[in-house]
Amino acid sequence: MPVQLTTALRVVGTSLFALAVLGGILAAYVTGYQFIHTEKHYLSFGLYGAILGLHLLIQSLFAFLEHRRMRRAGRPLKLPSPLRRSVALCIAAYQEDPDYLRKCLRSAQRIAFPDLKVVMVVDGNRQEDTYMLDIFHEVLGGTEQAGFFVWRSNFHEAGEGETEASLQEGMDRVRNVVRASTFSCIMQKWGGKREVMYTAFKALGDSVDYIQVCDSDTVLDPACTIEMLRVLEEDPQVGGVGGDVQAAS
Cβ-based neighbours of 180, under 8 Å, separated by 6 or more: 147
As assigned by CATH, the class of the 87-234 domain is alpha beta
Q: Is the dihedral of CA 158, 144, 211, 98 positive or negative?
A: negative
Residue extents of the structural domains in the chain: 1-73, 87-234
Q: What is the pLDDT along the chain (249 residues), one digit of tens a residue?
A: 566 777 788 888 888 888 887 887 777 777 776 777 777 766 767 777 777 788 889 888 988 887 777 666 455 555 555 457 899 999 999 999 999 999 999 999 999 998 999 999 999 999 999 999 999 999 998 778 899 999 999 999 999 999 999 999 999 999 999 999 999 999 999 999 999 999 999 999 999 999 999 999 999 999 999 988 888 888 888 889 998 888 876
- Give the integer Cα–Cα distance in Å for 188 and 132: 12
Distance CA 40, CA 44 (A): 10
Which is nearest to 129 in space by CA: 95, 161, 174, 155?
95
Helix 130-139 and helix 98-109: axis angle, to 10°?
Answer: 30
Show Cβ contacts of residue 168 under 8 Å, excluding neighbours closer than 6 positions. none
